[in-house]
Structure 1
Amino acid sequence: MSAEVDTGTDKQAAGGALLRVSSQKISRLMDLVGELSLSVSETVNSPDLLEGNGDRTDFEAAAHRLSMIVREVQDAATELRLVPVDEVFKRLKRMIRELERQTKKKINLNIVGADTAIDKMVADRLYDPLLHVLRNSADHGLEGVDERVAAGKSEKGTITLSAAQVGSEVQIVVGDDGRGLNRKKILEIARKRGFYGPDEEPESSKLWKVIFEPGFSTAETVSNLSGRGVGMDVLNSTMRDLRGRIAVDSWEGKGTNVSLHIPVSLAFLDCILLRQGTHLFAVPVEDIAEIVNPGIENSMTISAGSRAEMLRLRDTHVPVCRLETYYGNAMPDLKPLTDTVVIVLNAGSKLIAVPVDEVLDRQQVVMKPLSGVLAKVRASWGCALLGTGEVALVLDADRLAAGGEN
């Protein structure tokens, strides 16, 4: 480790010294903090202590203080790996002049929230996917000078690159004031590729998702900027690896926004723990809309042959997603909704209802990615290691809503 000492005022020397530390060492520290967290949790929840007799008030107070200290150490270690997203934005800004030259368009790049902190591991992987989005905005989104003037717009198109922390996520938006996505053309190609039937008219929020499919392109000619059908699917794959999600909004003649939602930290995750049968699951807190105990009036079944269930939630009907259909060895007799606790999850632009036997606890868990043959486990971000020594599968609400596909 090499040190960079601030040579400014005494105050700076005392409180503003800088240390240059390799990201590998920070990652090692994060791993050790995770192991420490598990060890502490395993100790304070030891069956030998829980089954013991006598007054454990002092021990429980000490264990609580220790847990709080470990949580603070986790937060401090997480902050060590945070860097301003400006590190990525500056590299993208340098590309604008090149994009102007290649597209023969006038482009103004507006940057907002460059000081937003993001995990270094995320920042290292964001440049290439964001560059693809920027190229699409310049090549497909923004009109040429003559077309913009005819539409009553300024000659110079604007691309806005913004970042902000929203709860436990960082939201990065690439927006342009161009022509918007061509719904007719995208739907035509989606039908040819079998994503939709010839008479289907999907909602725009669903249709836009097909642009992230491998090989999908609306470009009529191939250039060094676009037309190969790669780029947006790379973004989709990267976001999946980062436990992130993508949203697209587009307005005809007004522009398009591509929003990336990424966890602030990849090492620790604030979750609700669930039990379904003998299986343990974890759901990120920010994905949960509400938890309900349904009555008979809240449950309904449609298309009896396929046993499609709906949860009646106030003035809406929410499709029910049974975990047994994904993770059970065989389909048992499913419990009626009235005998379960239902977790209502935000899955993109819609809700899904997931019945479980029990809601166990809220914990900050240590995340571990699934690798090897386990990497293809359906509708999962990875596994959560619990202080009890058990492992819970972390559910991905978007993929559950899409039928569990990876």
Structure 2
Amino acid sequence: MTVLRWVPVVSLLAWVWLTCCHGLFWRTDRRLPPRRPEPSGPARRWPSVAVVVPARDEAEVLPVSLPSLLAQRYPGEVRVILVDDHSSDGTGALARGLAAGGWPLTVTTPPPLPDGWTGKLWALRHGVRLAGPVEYLLLTDADIAHRPGSLAALVGAAEQEGLDLVSQMARLRVVTRWERLIVPAFVYFFAQLYPFRWSNRPGARTAAAAGGCSLVRRDALERAGGVAAIRGAVIDDVSLARAVKRSGGRIWLGLADRVDSVRPYPRLGQLWRMVSRSAYAQLRHSPALLVGTVLGLALVYLVPPVATAAGLLGGRPAVAAAGAAAWALMAGTFAPMLRYYRLPVAGAVLLPFTALLYLLMTVDSAVQHWRGRGAAWKGRTYPRPQEG
């Protein structure tokens, strides 16, 4: 009885703290800063940019994403480098066929993958080397479509604010039922792990980026040790942000208005693999962190609805009230993300169910790692970095 009475109270206190004291992670107003008017006088020179796109078996999405890059209107010099990472579906040939018009496109293939590297980072390293002495590198995934003005907005923000890394969390697809249920929560949980305000604050320990769209100054990347400094990272975007920030660079992360992922995840199994392939790596392959995460998810996300139901059915109004208040705070903090994705905010009450799915995905990620199939993606399986 005592446990039943106090557990929902602890959950409620946790939600009060998360809502008020955890970097306002639930806010969705972290967007690229608006451009200031250009000063009168001679037009300033726009810096040169190389766009590097690692691609492995991406023939399904390239016809939508690649033309959006080649058609970007940008006042400076741009070249696009697509690194075909030994695809088996004709990705390279398809990319060459899409090259008519727009910015110059180079399609290349890296040498065979060496030990200690993830495929994406090995492809990025190859593309960065081919880029030459440009001032900025836009590292963007093959499934990311850029609306008109995206590149100019990224470079303008970096120049205007003196930023070394500007990253945007692409707006993911939410067409199917499972996408609508799981995708907004994915971004919400990411922001809870890495509050954008804390990440963007110079001197703060938190550092994060979104790998689908990251603009980095070439000299800042070199100061951070280059792509080789994070060569074995499965969660490469966060590792890149940490490396740049640790070397003295200024970073910025926010939600995107002009950058969209076009990759479909129509079935639960596809979304499950997307999350579980890196969830245990996020916990640094630690059984202790896994146990703590499972207990924490249960306390924060599962206790409120269970306590609400148990209190109402068992005639314990105090238990029901604490559970309902925690559930209301949870739903209230999730509602802005649903609005960002243009989904009904009433769906926020389902977040405990979605959190349960994420809990199971995290456990499955650990199980797959223990079975030697952790961090598996597109035919490759990566060990934990110290084993690489």
* Structure with greater proportional strand content: 1
Establish whether TM, by shorter chain, passes 0.5. no
TM-score by length of 1: 0.25
* Structure with greater proportional helix content: 2
Query: Higher relative CO (CA 8 A, sep ≥ 6), structure 1 or 2?
Result: 2
